[in-house]
Structure 1
Amino acid sequence: MKKLAKKLSFAAISGALLLTAACANQEASKEEKKVDVASLPEAGDFSKQLDLNLSGSITRGKAEDGNYVQKRLEEQFNIKISNTKVDTWNADQVNLMVASGDLPDTFAFTTGGKTAQELYDSGLTRTISKEMLEKYAPRYMKMLSENASGTKRNLLKGTENEYVALIGQYAHVDGLVWAPTFRLDWLEKLGIEPPGEIKQVGPSGGREKIYYTDGAYTLEELEEVLKAFTFDDPDGNGKDDTYGISPWNNNINWAHTLMGSFGIALQPNYNLLEDGKLVTTEISKNYKEFLKLMAKWYKMGLIDPEFTTLDDKKSWEKYKQGKIGYYVAQPSYMAMDDWAKGRAPQNIVENPNSTAKVLGTLPEIGKNGQQGEGAYIPVGNLADAFYVSKDVTDEELARILQVFDYINFDNEARWTLYGEVGVHSDWEGEPEKSALKVRPEFAAEEGNSGFWAYNFRTYDKERVSWFQSEYTSKLKNELYAREDVKEKMLIRPYKYDLLNETNIKEVEKRYKGQLDTVVSEFRMKAIVGEVDIDKEWDNYVENWKNNGGNEVLAELEKAPKVSDLMKQ
C-alpha cells in the first residue's frame, strides 16, 4: 500500500485555526476533572449501546454506511458508528470542520501544525488518564512500556498520569531506511569485485536481477567505482554519457549513507558534540568535510551535472535510462514492492528484457570507520498522534479505548484491515510470510469494506508483514534491520527534546524557512563549486546562527541526552 510504505507522515494540515468561542488555555488544563474510573463499567461490559463518531489515520470520508468492518465492530462492542464524511487529509475540509466545532470523537489529523498540548489548550481535545488506559487499553500500555520513554510521551504538562494524545508504534521504519545500490552488471563488466558475498533478493519478476550483500565499500573504494562508472564506458555504447552518481534537488535523501560515513545525519534537530560544544549537523566540521568531498566529485565529473534541475521523480526517470551507476534506495525499492514501482533502482529491471542487475550493500565506510545513517525516528520507534475530542464523555472514552486497543494492538483484528483471508483478501506469496492483497471487489480502504476506516497508524512487526512483501521482510531481517547492524549504524542526535521540555518546536516554526534557505543554498553552491567551502565556511556558519540558529542551539542545550532517553 503506497501511502503506508512511503516516507510516512500524516497529511499535515496548514492554515490558521478558525476557532469559535470559549477555548481553553493552559490555566484551564489545571482544572481538568479527575475521572472516577471505579464508577465506570468493567472492561468487556458492553451492555449499554453507545453512539460514536469514529475516524482514524486514513479517513478520506469514503467509508460507506453499513460497511463490513462497521457492522462487525458495532456488534462486537455494542456501538453505533457514525462515519466521518470529511477527507481528513484535506486542509480546507478540516479547517471548516474545526471552525464549526463538529469534530469526530476520535481523529488522527493535525490542525494548523499544532502539537498535542496546543490542541488540548485550544479546547479541541480531552485528556486520557493512565488509569483508564491501564483498565481499557492494556495492550497499548504494554507497547508503551516496551519502547524508550514510551510512558512519558504526550503527558499533559505538569502531570504524570494524564495524556493529551496516544502514540503509534513504527516498526516499519525499524533499522536502516536507506542503502546504497550499484549497477552490478557494470561492476562485473569493469572487473570490480563486489564487497562481500552476494545473494538474490528473489527468484523471478525482476527480483532475480537484484542482489544484496552485507559488505560495504570504503569511501576511497567508492570513489574508484564512481570513476570507473563515469569514464570506463560501463554500458559499452562507446559514448561518454554515464555518471557515477545522480543526486536530486528537492531533498537530501540521496546523501543519507554518504553523510553517515562522516558520522552525521542531516535531519531536523540532529546534533552532536564537537570539540566539547553542541552543534547541529548543518554547522559541524564533519558536514563541511562531506560538502568538500561532494564538491571534489562534482569537479571530477563523477556527479551528474543535471542534478540541480532534477527532483527525485525526474532523477528516477534519469536512472531508468541506464546512465547512472550508484543510487540510494529503500529496501522496499530493491524488493520491488508494488507501491515502489517506477522508483530507482527497481525501474531499471522492471522490463523483462532488461539485462541490468543491481546490488544493494551496507552504507559506505568513512576514514575513521564511521558507517550508517540517521535513525528515521531520533529516539525509539514511536510516532504520530491519536486524539479524543473534548466532548467525549468518560463512559464513551472507556468504550473508545477498548475499540482502539483491539483494532490496533490485537492482531486477531487483522480483519479490520484486510477482512477474512480467502474471502476479502489473499496472500501475495507464501501464507503468513508475504503481503496481503485485497480482492478487487472490495475497497482496499474505506468504501464498502471499511478497511482502515477506524484504525490508527501503528504497526508491530507482524502487522508490517501484512503490507510489505516477503522480499522486503527478507532484506530487513537478514540485513538492514538486523540487530548488530542497527546497534552499529543507526546515528542518533546527542540531545533531543522528546518530551516537549523546551521551546524548540516554537523556535523551529519561527526560523525554519530562513534556516532551510541558508543551508540549501550553501549546499548547492558548495557542491557545484560556486563558493570556496574553506573560505566561506565561517561566514556560512555565522549566517546560519544569525538567522535563528543561535536560538535553536540554545533550546537544544536544554534538551536531555538521547542516550538517557533510550534507557527510560
Structure 2
Amino acid sequence: MKKNNVTKVLSMKALMAAALLMGACSNDADNAAQSSAEYDPESKASVNWTAILHAPSPPSGDVLTKLEEHTNADINFNWVPDASKEERITAALASGELSDIVSLTMMTNSSVRQSLKSGMFWDVGEYLDDYDNLKAISQEVRDAASIEGVLYGVPFQKPLARSGLVLRQDWLDNLGMKQPTNLEELREVARAFTEDDPDGNGKDDTVGFGDRSDLRYSSFKLLASYHGAPNGWKVEEDGSFTPEFETEEYMNTMKYSRDLYENGFLSQDFAVTAKTDQQQKFAQGKTGIYTGMIDILNLKNLSQGLQDGLKLVPVNKIAGPDGEYHVWSENTGVGGLMAFPKSEVESEAELKRLLQFVNDLIDEEAFMLMTGGIEGTHYELNESGAIEITDTDLWQKEVQPLSSSRPSEITHSLVDADPDKQLANELVEENTEFAVIDPTVPLDSATANERGTELEKIMVDATIKYIMGEMDDAGFKESIEKWRSSGGDQIVKEYAEAYKASK
C-alpha cells in the first residue's frame, strides 16, 4: 500500500533557521542540527539515482510517474548500460561524480570494494530495522552484503541461484530429441542444433550455444557448476583456500567448452559478444541454447514476428560427472548494493529519507509497477490471479528497464500467466536446494580489494584463450603462476586468515 508518511529532508535553510532560533552560532552547532534533524513528513524528495540499464533504452511513459507518486519523490535516473557498467562505475567512483543512490552490482570489483571500505558511503546497518520492509532483510543477506561486518548500502535481494538454460523446444521436437539431463546429452543437443538443420530451412545457419564475453554470466560459469567446480573458491579441510581455476573440475570445464568451440557448437564470436547481441541472435533463430532461465519471457518477446512457431523450455538440472546437480549462487542472494555517497547525502536526515524511499520501492504497489507496469495498460490479472502482459511492446519500453532496479525480487511473488516463465520461476526456486556458495562473499582481502579485478583479468583472458585453442595446458599453468606472483598468493593467504578469524 502507498504510504502517506513519506517525507523529505529539511533544507539547509530550514536547519540554519532552526539553529538561529536556538541561538546557535557556530558551524559545529549547524552540523549538529543537520545531523539530528528529522525529515518533513509532508514534503517531496528529490532522488538522483545511478542505476544499471539492462534494456536497449531507458523507460518512457507513465510508469515512472506512478512510481514517483507512490514514493512521493522526483526520481532522476542516471542510466548506465550494463555493457559499460564496469568502466562507467569505476570512473565515477574515481572522480567522485556520484548520485544520491548508486547501484553497485559488481561487489567483487576491486575499485568498488576499495571505495566502500574507504568510508565514501554510509554504513546503513543500524538503520534498516527502522523501516517495515528493510527490517525484513534476512541476517544471512545482510552478512553476505557486508564487508568486515559493515553494510555500506541496502542489498539488492535476489533468488539464491538463478542460473539455468533456455532451449529451443521446437528444435528439439523437429529433431526428435529430448531435453538433456547430463553433460553428454547437452553436448549432443548443441551438436544437433548446429549440424542437423533444426529449423528445417535447408541452410547451415544455426549454432548450438549462443554466448557472450562475460564468463560469469555466459555458459562457462554454469557449465563449471555442472562439472562440480567450486563457486570462485574452495575451502580445504585445513582452512586454506584454492581458487576455482586450480581445480580439476575447472580444467574439465575448459576442455568441454573448447570441444564445443572447436566443433562450432559454441558461437565463434563469443569473446566479443555483448548480452544484448547474444539475446538478439537467439531471437533471430541463429542460436538454440541460451544461458539465463530468467530471461525466457524476454527472449520470447524479442522473437515475436521473427520466429513463427517458436517454443522455448527452461532447463535447470544437468547432471555432472558425479551424477549430481550443482548450480552456482550469485553472492548468496545479494545482487549488489544501493549505496549512498556521503558527498551527496550529507546528513543523517537525508540518509533516512532515502532509506524511506528504498523501503517504499519494496511495497507491493511499487513492485508491481516495476515488474508488470500499470494494470489495464501493460498487464491484467486473470481469473486465477496470474499476471499476463497485454502489450508486450509497451511493456518492453516502459517497464522492463525498471525491473532490474527493484530492491527486492523475493519479497513478493507472482504467478506468471506465461507457463514458460512460471516454470522458470519455479526452477529458480528449486535451485536453492542445489546452490553452491562462494565462501569468500563475507570475507575480506586487502589485496583483492586493491588489485583483485586486475588479477582476475589474467585468468579470464587465459580461460578464453584456452577455450579458443590459443593456449595449451602449460600456458594456462603459466597464467596461474603469473596470477599467484602478482598478488594471488597474498589473496589466498588473506582469505584464509579472514576465514579463520570468522570462526
TM-score by length of 2: 0.68
Matches within 5 A, 1:449-460: 457-460=406-409
Q: Distance in 2 between matches of 1:319 and 1:287?
A: 27
Q: Quickly say closer, same or farther: Cα 1:239–1:274, change in 2 above 3 A.
A: farther
Query: What does residue 263 of structure 1 align with?
Result: 228
Q: Secondary structure at the match of 2:163?
A: coil
Q: Quickly say closer, same or farther: Cα 1:291–1:402, change in 2 above 3 A.
A: closer
Shift of 1:262: 1.1
Shift of 1:444: 4.7
**Residue 327 (structure 1) aligned with residue 286 (structure 2):** no
Query: Which of 259, 267, 286 lines up with 1:296 in the alignment?
Result: 259
CA contact (8 A) 2:447 2:491 kept: yes
CA contact (8 A) 1:264 1:281 kept: yes
Shift of 1:125: 5.2
Query: Which of 464, 482, 486 lines up with 1:543 in the alignment?
Result: 482
Q: Distance in 2 between matches of 1:223 and 1:61?
A: 39
Query: What does residue 185 of structure 2 align with?
Result: 221
Query: What does residue 133 of structure 2 align with?
Result: 139
Query: Which of 365, 369, 382 lines up with 1:430 in the alignment?
Result: 382
Query: What does residue 87 of structure 1 align with?
Result: 78
Q: Distance in 1 between matches of 2:372 and 2:336?
A: 26
Give the letter for the 1:527 counterpart: I
CA contact (8 A) 2:244 2:250 kept: yes
Give the unaligned 5+ runs of structure 2: 1-30, 53-57, 82-87
Q: Secondary structure at the match of 1:359?
A: strand
CA contact (8 A) 1:435 1:465 kept: no
Q: Secondary structure at the match of 1:351?
A: coil
**Residue 54 (structure 1) aligned with residue 47 (structure 2):** yes
Q: Secondary structure at the match of 2:227?
A: coil
Q: Quickly say closer, same or farther: Cα 1:386–1:436, change in 2 above 3 A.
A: farther
Shift of 1:459: 1.8
Matches within 5 A, 1:369-380: 369-377=323-331, 379-380=332-333
Q: Quickly say closer, same or farther: Cα 1:386–1:470, change in 2 above 3 A.
A: farther
**Residue 176 (structure 1) aligned with residue 137 (structure 2):** no
Q: Quickly say closer, same or farther: Cα 1:242–1:556, change in 2 above 3 A.
A: same
Q: Distance in 1 between matches of 2:194 and 2:42?
A: 69
Q: Quickly say closer, same or farther: Cα 1:137–1:328, change in 2 above 3 A.
A: same
Q: Distance in 2 between matches of 1:557 and 1:238?
A: 57
Shift of 1:148: 0.6
Query: Which of 503, 512, 528 lines up with 2:446 in the alignment?
Result: 503
Query: What does residue 492 of structure 1 align with?
Result: 437
Q: Secondary structure at the match of 1:108?
A: strand
Q: Give per-residue Cα distances to partners, 1:3-60, cap 9 Å, x unaligned.
A: xxxxxxxxxxxxxxxxxxxxxxxxxxxxxx999x9x987xxxx887668543446599
Give the letter for the 1:526 counterpart: Y
Q: Quickly say closer, same or farther: Cα 1:244–1:394, change in 2 above 3 A.
A: closer
Q: Distance in 1 between matches of 2:185 and 2:405?
A: 45
Give the letter for the 2:222 counterpart: T
CA contact (8 A) 1:52 1:396 kept: no
**Residue 166 (structure 1) aligned with residue 153 (structure 2):** yes
Q: Quickly say closer, same or farther: Cα 1:521–1:149, change in 2 above 3 A.
A: closer
**How many residues are treated as equivalent by the alignment?**
449
Higher helix share: 2
Give the letter for the 1:545 counterpart: R
Query: What does residue 148 of structure 1 align with?
Result: 140
CA contact (8 A) 2:141 2:334 kept: no
Query: What does residue 423 of structure 2 align with?
Result: 475
Q: Distance in 1 between matches of 2:445 and 2:210?
A: 39
CA contact (8 A) 1:337 1:469 kept: no
Shift of 1:271: 0.6
CA contact (8 A) 1:169 1:458 kept: yes
Shift of 1:290: 1.2
Q: Give per-residue Cα distances to partners, 1:238-265, cap 9 Å, x unaligned.
A: 5655544344445451223322121126
Shift of 1:367: 1.3
Query: What does residue 11 of structure 2 align with?
Result: none
Q: Quickly say closer, same or farther: Cα 1:309–1:430, change in 2 above 3 A.
A: same
Q: Secondary structure at the match of 1:168?
A: strand
Query: Which of 454, 463, 486 lines up with 1:513 in the alignment?
Result: 454
Query: What does residue 354 of structure 1 align with?
Result: 308
**Residue 461 (structure 1) aligned with residue 461 (structure 2):** no
Shift of 1:287: 0.9
Q: Secondary structure at the match of 2:340?
A: strand
Q: Quickly say closer, same or farther: Cα 1:352–1:310, change in 2 above 3 A.
A: closer
Shift of 1:368: 0.5
Matches within 5 A, 1:16-415: 53-56=46-49, 83=74, 87=78, 89=80, 106-108=100-102, 118=115, 128=124, 130=126, 133-134=128-129, 136-141=130-135, 143-144=136-137, 146-148=138-140, 150=142, 154=146, 165-171=152-158, 173-181=159-167, 183-192=168-177, 194-195=178-179, 216-236=180-200, 242-252=206-216, 253-264=218-229, 270-273=232-235, 278-307=241-270, 310-320=273-283, 322=285, 324=287, 326-334=288-296, 336-337=297-298, 341-342=301-302, 347=303, 350-351=304-305, 354-377=308-331, 379-381=332-334, 383-387=336-340, 389=342, 392-393=346-347, 401-402=355-356, 404-405=358-359, 407-411=360-364
Q: Quickly say closer, same or farther: Cα 1:304–1:381, change in 2 above 3 A.
A: closer
CA contact (8 A) 2:190 2:209 kept: yes
Q: Distance in 2 between matches of 1:532 and 1:115?
A: 33
Query: What does residue 29 of structure 1 align with?
Result: none
Give the letter for the 2:472 counterpart: D
Q: Distance in 1 between matches of 2:70 and 2:173?
A: 56
Q: Quickly say closer, same or farther: Cα 1:470–1:395, change in 2 above 3 A.
A: same
Shift of 1:487: 1.0
Q: Quickly say closer, same or farther: Cα 1:543–1:328, change in 2 above 3 A.
A: same
Q: Give per-residue Cα distances to partners, 1:60-119, cap 9 Å, x unaligned.
A: 99999xx77667766xxxxxx6x5768375969x9699879xx87x43356998658846
Q: Secondary structure at the match of 1:264?
A: coil
Q: Distance in 2 between matches of 1:73 and 1:529?
A: 53
Q: Distance in 2 between matches of 1:307 and 1:551?
A: 32
Q: Secondary structure at the match of 2:339?
A: strand
Give the letter for the 2:437 counterpart: R
Query: What does residue 201 of structure 1 align with?
Result: none
Q: Distance in 2 between matches of 1:519 and 1:385?
A: 29
Shift of 1:525: 3.2
Q: Secondary structure at the match of 1:480?
A: helix
Query: What does residue 5 of structure 2 align with?
Result: none
CA contact (8 A) 1:264 1:491 kept: no
Give the letter for the 2:295 counterpart: Y
Shift of 1:458: 0.9
Q: Distance in 2 between matches of 1:96 and 1:473?
A: 37
Q: Secondary structure at the match of 1:87?
A: strand
Alignment root-mean-square deviation, CA: 5.1
Q: Secondary structure at the match of 2:462?
A: helix
Calculate percent identity across the aligned residue pairs.
Answer: 18
Shift of 1:471: 4.6
Q: Distance in 1 between matches of 2:146 and 2:279?
A: 39
Give the letter for the 1:283 counterpart: E
CA contact (8 A) 1:279 1:553 kept: yes
CA contact (8 A) 1:428 1:434 kept: yes
Q: Distance in 2 between matches of 1:271 and 1:380?
A: 17
Shift of 1:394: 5.1
